[in-house]
Amino acid sequence: MSSKTSAIKDKWKLKKWFTILAPKTFGEVVLGSTPAYDVSQSLNRKVETTLYDLTGDFSLVYVHLYFKVVGHDGDKLLTMFAGHELSRDYIRSLVRRKSSKIDAIIDVQTKDGYVLRVKGLALTTYRAHRSQKTAIRKIIWDIVSKKATESTFDQYIQDIVFGKIANNIFQEAKKIYPLRKVEIEKTKVLKTPSS
């Protein structure tokens, strides 16, 4: 029995710890570290963190970011943005009775060839009519896709994560019906130019 436990301990000793860094867009902040026998084993691993962990701004604790390990520099693992999501509790806290929730899911391509799936969300102050919902959904579609064609991947991600695109949608859509909140609820990178 003792030989078995020592074998397991030795296995851990053989592993090396690698530091995981956020992409340049997010200031190459250390996301954590991971053990692996070889650097190739850590490629394609997914890492989850919150925007609060990257910026120190507690008001952004509900924004979850996902990164994928795509390369290495010595014992540092380099990552790429893979998607983001707002916490379910936060979304639940926004939804009110007697108001409308308008969702729009759009696949967009950035100027530099990245394909993303973006889910926009608008919440009205009161219950909206179907025609108003359709008009607001169209605004979400137009702004999200237009911004993608004009921006590089890094710019686009920054604008989404830090709320710039949501703010643009809010300013346009409130002309149609009073809104309480607009958010980009979720993004996912579907394709990179290299794949």
* CA gyration radius, the chain: 21
Answer whether residue 7 shows pLDDT above 90.
no
- Range scoring the smallest mean pLDDT among 4-8, 32-36, 58-62: 4-8
- CB burial of residue 70 (10 Å; 0-12, 13-18, 19+): middle
Average pLDDT value for the chain: 91
Amino acid at 67: F
Looking at residue 1, its pLDDT comes to: 47
- In this prediction, residue 39 has a pLDDT band, given cuts at 50, 70 and 90, of confident
pLDDT at 115 over 60: yes
Percent of residues, the chain, with pLDDT higher than 90: 74
Q: What's the CA gap between 6 and 96, in Å, rounded? A: 57
